[in-house]
Amino acid sequence: MSKKPSVSVCVATYNGEQYIAAQIESILAQLSEEDEIIVSDDGSSDQTKAVVEELMKKDGRIRMTDGPHDGFSKNFENAVKQARNEIVLFSDQDDIWEEGKVEQMKKIFRAKPEITTILHDMATFRNDSLINTDEIAISYHGGVLRNFIKSSYWGCCMTVKREFLMQFIPFRAHCVGHDQLIGLMTEKHGKALYLNQKLLWHRLHGANTSNRRTVKQMIVFRYELTKDFIEAEKQYKKHKR
């Protein structure tokens, strides 16, 4: 990794007009000239693309591409494929990043080149008020099996080396959880570092894709995640030949 690594922030959008500007602006304030934001929009029917286009006119570090229309995980994959820089940060369309998050990620990767994936904690909020509701607490536990049962990996709190990601992309069609899959691959083939710091504000509302699942939905999810992991292992072995 270079002495001054650059970052690509991958944002997956779908009908996020209400909050996307605040999210992107909280990121732009932290980026260097060589950094970038890639927005992959998965067919929004509201004004999301128009909002992003207005931001693009003001800042050339933002690029937008059309998503694959195959779920949010493949939408994030699409953004990763467009990324040009060494470090990939994942971003939801409605959170707010804490000041200094990007620079802290860069410093860690410079100091610890063996790290492939960085995780951190987050604060949660509702109703546009930045008051921590403490509804979600992230803690790290290692191991493939433990993270298959209960994952430590939340996409909005993850930073990953692009070189590592590209070893098991593309994901399986209809991939159910890019973040949990990346977590499993990190535990199997990479090295994680967890920061017990709340480096973003995660917005909670009825439209979150991470809402709680029923027992039946959890069983189905684990079954599909297993298939995602098997496919990722095939991709990884193919890249290692």
pLDDT tens column, 7-64: 999 999 999 999 999 999 999 999 999 999 999 999 999 999 999 999 999 999 999 9
CB 152 within 8 A of CB 119: yes
Distance CA 210, CA 207 (A): 9
Tokens representing residue 232 in the block: 């990722």
Specify the residue for token string 């591409």. Answer: 65
Tally Cβ neighbours within 10 Å of residue 160. Answer: 27
DSSP 155: G
pTM of the model: 0.94
User: Collapsing DSSP states into helix, strand and coil, what is residue 65?
Assistant: strand
The pLDDT of residue 206 is above 70:
no
Q: Side chain identity at 53, as an amino acid letter? A: E
Distance CA 219, CA 223 (A): 6
Cis peptide before 5 (omega within 30 of 0): no
User: Collapsing DSSP states into helix, strand and coil, what is residue 126?
Assistant: strand
| Spacing of C-alpha 83 from chain mean position | 13
**Structure confidence at residue 1 as a pLDDT band (50, 70, 90):** confident
Q: Which domains does the chain possess?
A: 7-240 (3.90.550.10)
The pLDDT of residue 209 is above 90:
no
| Spacing of C-alpha 64 from chain mean position | 16
The pLDDT of residue 129 is above 80:
yes
Q: What is the mean pLDDT of the chain?
A: 94
Distance CA 57, CA 68 (A): 24
pLDDT of residue 103: 96
Average pLDDT score over residue span 158-181:
97
Residue 194 φ/ψ, nearest 5 degrees: -105, 130
Residues with Cβ within 8 Å of residue 113, at least 6 apart in sequence: 1
CB 162 within 8 A of CB 8: yes
